[in-house]
């Protein structure tokens, strides 16, 4: 997908107002400028930010269209991918969770610059976010599936929709998680990379093993 195709894809799939375009463009500019201070995206993707990061994040919304109510929680947001993109494209309340101080400061700067009043940041580990069921949980390049669920299951109930971009090893990761986690899982193809996939899950819960109490 070229950068032009990425913008066209956004136009086709979302009602992108002039104001929203400006927000997304501002985010891209802030992200690239911040790359002089911290490593937020792979250097090789710098020239392909719209395809590799903005659309790659925005596509998660297309899998969350039938999600129930409740805030969107993005685990390990880093530079705000997908959190900031989701907040720019929807009004759903959103919490970005990020443990690294420098990244939290950048997220705060972006939230203020883009006036994303419905977006909040939790500067700390996912494991200590206060309990409460999210409508949607996303996590991009955050942790392998078993650790991801272990760290965030207190933020979900049976209605929570999990949208988890997982690259080329989605199916393998899913198989690895199955002995410990049950739920309704399916794997969707990524629009930005035909070989990459997104795990979409509902009703995720731990399978208790004998002797674990």
Binding stretches for ligand SAM (CB under 6 A): 76-79, 81, 97-100, 103, 125-127, 140-142, 151
Query: In angstroms, what is the minimal distance from the CB of 55 to ligand SAM?
Result: 13
List CB contacts of 98: < 8 A, sequence separation 6 or more.
76, 77, 78, 104, 107, 121, 122, 123
**Residue 75, marked binder:** no
**Dist. CA 84–CA 196, nearest whole Å:** 22
Q: Give the dihedral sign, CA 142/143/146/148.
A: negative
**Residue number with CB closer to ligand SAM (124 or 179):** 124
**Residue 81, marked binder:** yes
**Residue number with CB closer to ligand SAM (47 or 184):** 47
**Residue number with CB closer to ligand SAM (155 or 200):** 155
Query: In angstroms, what is the minimal distance from the CB of 210 to ligand SAM?
Result: 28
Residue length of the chain: 213
**Residue 126, marked binder:** yes
CB of 1 closer than 8 Å to CB of 51: yes
**Residue 135, marked binder:** no
Query: In angstroms, what is the minimal distance from the CB of 142 to ligand SAM?
Result: 5
**Residue number with CB closer to ligand SAM (79 or 88):** 79
Query: In angstroms, what is the minimal distance from the CB of 118 to ligand SAM?
Result: 19
**Residue 140, marked binder:** yes
Q: Give the dihedral sign, CA 132/137/138/141.
A: positive
Q: Find how far residue 193's CA is from the centre of its chain.
A: 16
* C-beta atoms surrounding 180 within 10 Å: 15
Binding-site residues for S-adenosyl-L-methionine, please? 76, 81, 126-127, 140
């Amino acid at each position: 997908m070229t950068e032009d195709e990425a913008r066209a894809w956004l136009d086709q799939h979302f009602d992108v107002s002039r104001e929203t375009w400006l927000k997304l463009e501002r985010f891209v500019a802030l992200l690239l400028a911040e790359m002089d201070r911290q490593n937020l995206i792979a250097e090789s993707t710098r020239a392909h930010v719209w395809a590799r990061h903005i659309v790659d994040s925005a596509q998660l919304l297309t899998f969350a269209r039938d999600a129930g109510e409740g805030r969107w929680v993005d685990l390990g947001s880093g530079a705000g991918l997908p959190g900031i993109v989701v907040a720019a494209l929807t009004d759903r309340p959103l919490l970005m969770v990020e443990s690294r101080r420098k990244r939290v400061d950048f997220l705060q700067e972006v939230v203020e610059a883009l006036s994303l009043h419905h977006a909040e940041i939790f500067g700390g580990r996912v494991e200590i976010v206060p309990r409460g069921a999210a409508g949607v949980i996303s996590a991009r390049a955050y942790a392998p599936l078993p650790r991801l669920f272990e760290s965030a299951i207190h933020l979900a109930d049976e209605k929570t929709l999990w949208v988890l971009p997982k690259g080329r090893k989605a199916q393998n990761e899913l198989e690895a998680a199955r002995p410990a986690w049950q739920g309704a899982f399916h794997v969707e193809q990524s629009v930005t990379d035909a070989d990459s996939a997104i795990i979409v899950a509902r009703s995720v819960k731990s399978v208790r093993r004998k002797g674990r109490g």
